[in-house]
């Protein structure tokens, strides 16, 4: 029997589907995933001044629990690996997007720019230390994928062998379908998201898609992508999809590919302005 659940977390529609012969086991599993996802949402909510992450950003907290330590260390590792293309500290510039005029925007931008970069914090034992008061960490591009990976662990704990988790487009596929075919994940057409432009077959793999137009900011007549980067985008890619063994890994690289086409040893699909698909698989 197939069970399907939907709820909302991290301001995103979340969906799960898995095969299980027992109603109560399935419900308990879904309940556990919901609870865990909500816990992560609350702990790392950048916009809530009372969240654990906000306390770190406001320098009211410096002790890291093991989960946060692990997450931040991983993020810093990706920062180095991608030569700064994946950077959880670009949030330092984020508040700037609520400026009213382009003039103010450029002024603040120049001022804060120097405080962006993972080199501005250090993890010693179980504490985090910043070298200034302005650097801010946003795990937005990280926690959602991490939540998917954790959800999959919960599914496995409940002995689920077939199914998928999809948190707002960050997907992990577990096993194969009941009729022994692979699950297929469609990639939406960036110009018409109600339709899929291609579909990918997955088995025990993660897939994430980054797109620039979804949560854009507007100041005067200029549009800014919500994917903020120190490096301006050097290509007109509308969406980037990466397949790998973990959602976090896919998430990092799909974000990066939106900024710069680097060589990654994973399957990816880029969709450009003319809806051409650039891929390697």
Partner 1 sequence: MQLKIPLSLVTASLLFSSMLKAEDYISVQYLKYDESGNKVEISAPTLEINKDFGTDYRLNATYISDVISGASPAFTDTSSGASGSGGAALLLKDIEKKYFVFDDKRDSLATSLTKRFENRDELTTGIGYSRENDYKALELSTSYLLWSDETHNRSYNFSASYMFNDILEACGNNFDCDKSTGSDIWNTSNIINIQVGITQIIDRTSSVGGSVFYINEHGYLTNPNYNIVRNNGTNPTLENESRPDNRDGYGFLVNYAKQINKKITSNSTYRFYTDDWDIDSHTVDSNLYYEYNNKLLLGFGLRYYLQSEASFYNGAKDYFTTQTYASSDDRLSSFHTVTYKFNIDYKITDTFSYNMGLNYYDQSTNLEATYITAGFKYWF
Query: Measured between alpha carbons, how far is 10 from 42 in angstroms, rounded to an integer?
Result: 9
For residues 145 and 250, the answer to whether their CB atoms sit within 8 Å is: yes
Kindly tell me the burial class for residue 272, based on how many C-beta atoms sit within 10 Å of its own C-beta (0-12, 13-18, 19 or more).
middle
**Shorter beta-carbon distance to partner 1: residue 12 or 246:** 12
Pair of tokens at residue 246? 């973990």
Residue among 69 and 177 whose Cβ is closer to partner 1: 177
Smaller CB separation from partner 1, 61 or 214: 214
209 binds partner 1 (CB under 8 A): yes
Among 184, 204, 231, 245, binds partner 1 (CB under 8 A): 184
- The residues in 1-20 that bind partner 1, with binding defined as CB under 8 A, are 1-8, 11-13, 15, 17, 20
Kindly indicate which of the ranges 83-91, 101-109, 111-119, 194-202 contains the residues binding partner 1, using the contact rule CB under 8 A.
194-202
Out of 56, 207, 258, 270, name the contact with partner 1 by CB under 8 A. 207
Q: How far is the CB of 217 from partner 1 (least distance, A)?
A: 10
Ramachandran angles phi, psi of 257, nearest 5°: -65, -20
Distance CA 186, CA 269 (A): 12
Burial (CB < 10 A; 0-12, 13-18, 19+), residue 17, is middle
> Residue 125 or 218: which CB sits closer to partner 1?
218
- The residue from 85, 154, 155, 211 that contacts partner 1 (CB under 8 A) is 211
The least CB distance from residue 130 to partner 1, in Å, is 26
Q: Are strands 192-202 and 183-189 parallel, antiparallel or unpaired?
A: antiparallel
135 binds partner 1 (CB under 8 A): no
Query: Can you read off the two tokens belonging to residue 48?
Result: 């809530």
If the CB atoms of residues 15 and 67 are measured against partner 1, the closer one turns out to be: 15
Q: Is 267 in the site for partner 1 (CB under 8 A)?
A: no
**In this structure, what is the dihedral angle of CA atoms 225, 229, 233, 238, given to the nearest 10 degrees?**
-40
Candidates 229, 241, 244, 255; binder of partner 1 (CB under 8 A) is: 241
Work out whether 149 is an interface residue with partner 1 (CB under 8 A).
no
CB 30, CB 183: distance < 8 Å? no
Q: Quick check: 26 binds partner 1 (CB under 8 A)?
A: yes
Q: By C-beta, is 64 or 200 nearer to partner 1?
A: 200
CA-CA distance, 244 to 277, in Å (whole number)? 18
Sequence-ordered list of residues with C-beta below 8 angstroms from that of 266, at least 6 positions apart, any chain: 242, 243, 244, 249, 250, 253
Integer Cα distance of 85 and 104 in angstroms? 25
Which parts of this chain interact with partner 1 (CB under 8 A)? 1-8, 11-13, 15, 17, 20-24, 26-27, 30-31, 34-35, 38, 47, 164, 166, 168-171, 177-179, 181, 183-190, 192-194, 196, 199, 207-209, 211, 213-216, 239, 241
């Amino acid at each position: 029997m197939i069970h399907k659940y939907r709820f909302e977390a991290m301001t995103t529609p979340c969906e799960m589907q898995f095969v299980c012969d027992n109603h109560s086991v399935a419900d308990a599993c879904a309940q556990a995933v919901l609870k865990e996802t909500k816990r992560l949402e609350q702990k790392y909510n950048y916009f809530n001044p009372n969240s654990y992450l906000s306390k770190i950003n406001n320098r009211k907290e410096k002790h890291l629990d093991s989960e946060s330590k692990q997450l931040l260390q991983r993020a810093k590792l990706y920062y180095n690996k991608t030569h700064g293309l994946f950077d959880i500290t670009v949030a330092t510039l984020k508040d700037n997007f609520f400026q009213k005029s382009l003039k103010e925007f450029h002024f603040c931008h120049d001022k804060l720019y120097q405080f962006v970069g993972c080199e501005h914090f250090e993890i010693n034992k179980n504490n985090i230390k910043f070298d200034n008061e302005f650097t801010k960490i946003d795990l937005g591009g990280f926690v959602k994928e991490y939540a998917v990976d954790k959800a999959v662990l919960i599914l496995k704990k409940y002995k689920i062998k077939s199914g998928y988790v999809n948190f707002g487009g960050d997907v992990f596929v577990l096993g194969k379908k009941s009729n022994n075919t692979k699950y297929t994940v469609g990639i939406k057409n960036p110009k018409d998201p109600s339709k899929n432009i291609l579909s990918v077959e997955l088995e025990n793999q993660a897939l994430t898609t980054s797109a620039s137009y979804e949560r854009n900011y507007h100041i005067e007549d200029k549009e800014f992508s919500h994917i903020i980067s120190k490096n301006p985008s050097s290509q007109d890619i509308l969406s980037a999809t990466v397949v790998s063994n973990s959602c976090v890994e896919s998430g990092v690289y799909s974000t990066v590919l939106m900024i710069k086409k680097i060589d990654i040893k994973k399957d990816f699909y880029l969709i450009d302005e003319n809806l051409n698909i650039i891929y390697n698989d």
